[in-house]
């Protein structure tokens, strides 16, 4: 495990402290979890952008042409 020194504005530190107390976790755990969630979101965007580059409109159209043209069920209708 690594250690980092982090400088936070007092207002942010206060909010983190309050939230950690409310969630019954340490400030360290709260910040580590928040950072992991942010990294996950950023990595997902990168993955989807890379995946989209490999996409093919022609293949999409071909796949969609195989879908039957039927009226959606009541719970699926817009």
Domain spans, the chain = 10-66
**How confident is the model over 4-60, as pLDDT tens digits?**
999 999 999 999 999 999 999 999 999 999 999 999 999 999 999 999 999 999 999
- Tell me if the pTM is above 0.75: no
pLDDT tops 90 at residue 70: no
Tell me what pLDDT residue 58 has: 94
CA distance 42 to 21: 27
User: Do 47 and 54 contact (CB within 8 A), yes or no?
Assistant: no
CA distance 40 to 31: 14
Tell me what pLDDT residue 67 has: 92
Tell me what pLDDT residue 26 has: 96
């Amino acid at each position: 495990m690594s250690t980092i020194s982090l400088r936070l504005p007092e207002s942010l530190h206060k909010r983190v402290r309050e939230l950690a107390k409310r969630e019954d976790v340490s400030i360290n755990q709260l910040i580590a979890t928040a950072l992991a969630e942010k990294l996950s979101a950023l990595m997902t965007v990168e993955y989807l952008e890379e995946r989209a580059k490999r996409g093919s409109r022609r293949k999409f159209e071909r796949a969609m042409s195989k879908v039957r043209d039927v009226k959606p069920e009541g719970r699926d209708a817009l």
